[in-house]
Structure 1
Amino acid sequence: MTFDLLQDHACVGLLVNPGARLCNVRRMRRVLIGSLIALAYAAPAAAAVPSGFAQESYTSNELKPATGAAWATDGSGRLFVLRKDGSIRVVRTVGGRPQTQPGGGMTLEVSTFATEPAVHTSSESGLLGIALDPNYVVNRYLYVFVSVSASQQQIVRYIDVDGGTDAPGIGTDRTVIVANLPTKGGINVGGGLAIGGDGKLYFSIGDLGDGTGVDADLTSLASKVGRANLDGTPANDNPFNDGVGPNNEYIWARGLRNPFGLSRQPSTGKLWTTVAGTSYEQVFLLEARAHAGYNDYENNQPASYLAPKIAYRTNGTDTRNVASAVRAGGTLTVTTTTAHGFRVGQSIEIAGVANASFNGNVYVRSVSATSFTAAQAGADASAGAGGTAKTKDLGGAITRGTFYDGTAFPTEYRGNFFFGDYNTGNLVRAVLSATNEVERVDVWGTGFNANVQVATGDDGALYALGYTTGVLHRVSATTATPRLVVSNTTPHVLEGGRAAFTVALSAAPAANVTVTVARSGGDADIDVLTGGSLTFTPTDWQQPRAVILAAASDADSVADVTDFDVSAPGLATERVVATSIEANGPQLVLSTDTLHVPEGGQATITVAWSAALSRATTVTVRRVGGDPDVTVVEPATLSFTPANSKTPQTVTFAAAHDDDGIAGRAQIAVASPLGARALEVIEVDDEAPPPSPDAGPDDGGTQDASVPDAATVDPSRPQEPGPAPSTPDASAEVTSAESEGGCNCNAHGKAGSGALWIALGLLFARRRRASRE
């Protein structure tokens, strides 16, 4: 294995190729290709975090070399980890901790989810980015960004089958949704992938190492952030979409040298990007049409360009001479002899001022070209020329970040942005104000070697992943105050779809604790589908439990906002604010959401769209969890066009014979990139009485805990968002497989109707009489 090595201290690389940044000719920074240094394989030093937190290091050679990671968004506690060579691995959690191999050590149990068939791994190329669909709870879609050759990168979709709290899952139905993304097989190839608050798929690509796509170039996706619909087509409202013109229709933002990371801010739905630069590492809050200046402007963008929210000198510091310092009413104003380039929230060390009361660390509160203000305690005073103002050395290769949205950390951590630096192993914390301005930026943790990803787990802990180390760091709060642990307090729910957050306890209770999740305000279109009442015991208090939210479709274009209170006796109530992602197009219509199939028999449903589609799409009908005895007979895919959108198409399911005496349950995703619906198929076992509609897994059913059981949903809450079937075509047909003297009857109407149960009751009675004879 090879990667780019450091030739001089000024040029240290990014991500998978330390040293592989496009070096500024003016600084004469160049890189070499060489063998992996032994240090990269040495046992990792223990990472350090502030008081009040604990750090654990889990290891596995199966995670080398890691390039990215994302948690499953269904509450199943699974971490998808990308390897540069094209393998997607899964780390499960058990009892709120990463699952380790037998023996009591810290070596992770790792499973393979999928492997890309062709991956170009030279230099910074490889399997690089991952994102989960906003309706992943239903459709199980997972997207990855991969270099497939020296001249092409792609975005690929998988369907997660059989993944849940008890199983890692398998990636199936590999589909290329965006092809021919640019690369030259070397450095700065990008790889960022994220779902925005608008439900669109965003991706990032760098300048390919030679300045491709920079400045005013709107024909190439290099040096850009692109925006696509979930089926991979360009979004019609992309700012440079000119139809048949010369522009690349995917372009959403530009002037980005190497935007390796994309992170959605949960509270706003906006995207932030981490960009590795030539002279400065920068973090931008992206906007449509924005131009970040490429490396023509790094941390000194003119007014018409997008300025970074966070910036720090690559592998160094900035020092400015102080022309004067004035403190009045607790506000410090420092004037520098030249333009300083400091950013709001940046940590500045003032030293050497004749009046020593001015010396010390401050955080920039406001800036002009040659002055800045900061809060500083002390009597009013002034000082003339003399002394310096100096920034902190944070590192030299920014990687990726995450917004902390859980409740396990103290309240002041809500909404903080954490990001890593590959070169220093620093974990950096940025504190944001209520108006989304940066207030403070500091090194928060050290020793997170070769960091490439930071993410928040279902357990509320912060996880950091190393590229060459095979180390997964877990950082948790050690507070002794019992509290409710909510994984994410600002979820986004696609209209007509579902989303999840999880709940656990921070400490073992003396007795069982019942947690209630209930809507407390806002729009009624979003409500709790499952998980409204959760009971934790003194032995399972650490195991996160999923709460599934459902958002009904509506005709307006205004996002719905709903408040939920998570409460338990004796514990502080936590507030969850859910926001809908608008999806006003046609919705999938199923004839039923729960289908009963006789063991050894078949049953059908119909599928259609509520209105005419604007473009053709394929609907995939796939078992994604539960009893494998339930299968899709035909067809597994349905083709819909604008012309036949509202014409119901029939899908047939079968339940194989078995001898287990259990009425198995299977979760089916009826899904297209344009919409998805969940279907539960219940096997009517011929060795047992028909299952009660209220029967759950404990009554003989089998169910993935991460997928809601439609048969146990509170009828006062929405069973499935979206239009209800209203035509005679919305029906289910059940055919008995009984052939010798059986009824061979058809029961029309929704599964579970009186006619169906009467027919099945007669069938079982006949079988019992026959067995006695």
Structure 2
Amino acid sequence: MPCTSIPQVIGEKHVVRPSRRISSKILLSLVLLALGAFRAAASVLPTGFVESRLATGLDPTSLEVAPDGRLFVTEKNGRIRIIKNGTMLTTPFLTLSVDNNNERGLQNIILDPNFASNGYVYVLYMPAGTNENRVSRFKASGDVAVANSEFVLLRLGFSKTTVHNGGGMYFLDGKLLITTGDGGDFNLPQSLGSLQGKILRINPDGTIPTDNPFYTSATGVNRAIWARGMRNPFKASVQRGTNRVLITDVGTATWEEVNEPIAGKNYGYPMLEGFRTAGQFAPGNYQDPFFAYTHGEGCAITGGAFYNPVNAQFPAAYVGKYFYADYCAGYIRTVDLATKAKGNFATGVNRPVDIKIGPDGSMYYLVRGSTNSNTSTTNGEVWRITYTASQSPFISAQPTSQTTSVGGSVTFTVGASGSNPLTYQWQRNGVNISGATSSSYTLSNVSLASSGATFRAIVTNGFGSATSNSATLTVINNQAPTATITSPVAGARYNAGQTITFAGTGSDPDDGTLPASAFTWWVEFYHDDSGLHTHPTVSATSGITSGSFQVPLSVHGFNVWYRIYLRVTDSDGQATTTFREIYPNRSTYTITSNPSGLQLFLDGESIFTPYSYTTTVGAVQTVEARSPQLLNGTSYQFSNWSDGGAVTHSITIPAANTTLTANFTAGTSTLRTPENPANAVSGLNYQYYQGTWNFLPNFSALTPQATGTVTTFSLTPKLRADFYGFRYTGFVDVPADGTYTFYTRSDDGSQLFIGNTLVVNNDGLHGPEERPGNIGLKAGK
């Protein structure tokens, strides 16, 4: 074969997976229209454990326990609340202005190891209008933060999307460590040029320790990197007495991980998740997780905590265990640190996000309790689990008083712990209600005569009984308001790139026309090509009667639509929710070739002509033709597209059904002449380079780090595990005149040249991918 460059290869090993759960993990949840009030039931606990609900109505993300027993609870919407002596204080400790879109907002809180004397509180959040998370320090004065005490320690860089913020924080050996998510960009966890997808280590004043493992190889703020290769490291926990640390890392589609952080280690994402198996590529200094489980056991690991309190109240079998929670499966389980054996602890936990152990040995946990809780919720709660050794019933969640209008319905719910089976009996005004023998009781078609009635539950098992507090029913002669969406109108359709304006009215029989303050809007994007799921488009926004959002130009499936929600609330708190769905204008686009049956590329994916599909009008896509191609023994060279576009160009889907044709011409008998060097020897020459690239660079303009000879294509001469490239050159024998097909398979980019002719273009960041190319050659070298 003639002189070749075979091939150029980028050695930064990114894996691009065809489907990713960030369009899924806090959003897999089917978003449902819920008109009733949320009421949580108690979880199911082992015998001897009881739990009690400490706070409701929250938008919670994290929890911290102060040495004096106070609980600091962060809310995604920017508030930090304090629970003191079992009661949530009315005045927030701190209220921040945050970007609350999707998974953004206030993520986490940690108290300084010397909090009792210095009052320092550290939070990780995204300020409104900044598009980047930051870590800041505030100073406490009693139960509130000192005004204007914010000191910004670290800015975490531009966030490409609204997901995967990470946010765990912990102190170790006097340093503050921070876990960061990849921000929805899987290119970042391996890069030393970004703080995302990492564990960071800084001094409490924000300066960077000079003994950080990448201090000399990274620059600027990136010297804070302490370990890398994580997707969405959600929470971190330090074991009292040993300083052992475990971090929960939310996975993609198969694995959830608990990682033990070690300086300089690489935890593999996006190349690896779960435990590495034989033959799997691993980056340099790779570290397997301490513990992992598949999605047969859950789908999103969240909180974690060691049970090593100052005063242990749980039985001895739990001391030294690690507790972890799964958001989707709704459980809290244990792991034995020595054997890694798993154990069940609590089930029926409604979307847990954090676990903490108090100095008194109690366990505290947060639940979000809402199916669309990655955006916002008011259903979040704080619970405390204690061990009493008693098997008698214990009321863990008291029924709450309710208000409804005439003709409405109400549901009272009680939570209870104790040895099973538990039986329930509801009473009205102290008298048993026939048939009301479950943990909830619903009263329908309420009349004014029921106003003032009290309801309580008696819970019984074989060891005793417990009676709940009484809840009062208030009935008002009030009719529900009416919510009407006036724009878009029913049956309206949209194109990609279009700005959608929404507007509505609200009225109430008693209040008349409702003001803007009564309105709340939110928008969800529905996608049902391979299982219904949603993507938040507009987070819940109050105080406006109209607004707008823009449809992106990119294509996201065929069976898609938007659902626009409007909720109006009258002066008595009665609310009505309505929605309107709008669907895209669609047309059929056909891509063919002349002759038919050749390979083309649509948005980087291989297709064979003719290829037809239906998609959203106005969507912008990319088409590409590659040549030469071999079909039925004939070589074809690309000539032109029927629309006059370049070999690779963008198309905009028109309203009318359209066909685009790639025209090829049959190859001539001209074959490339070989060089036939006189002193050719077996093997390949290589040049080795180091750098960070998204596409193959112009290697001829770079200075190689090393050169040499190999007998076959081999990465063995590389000097590090990532961020490198090779250029190989050599000769091979062509046995006879003809058209030859060459292939490269690479992860990431590669190209193959015959002389100066690009035959195979497999460039860019992608997973293992094979691409072909054809060229006519004469016999020889």
Where on the TM-score scale, by shorter chain, does this alignment land: which range? 0.3 to 0.5
Please identify the structure whose Cα radius of gyration is greater: 2
Specify which structure has the bigger relative contact order, considering alpha-carbon pairs within 8 angstroms and separated by 6 or more residues. 2
Q: When the two structures are superposed, what TM-score results if normalisation uses the length of structure 2? A: 0.43
Q: When the two structures are superposed, what TM-score results if normalisation uses the length of structure 1? A: 0.43
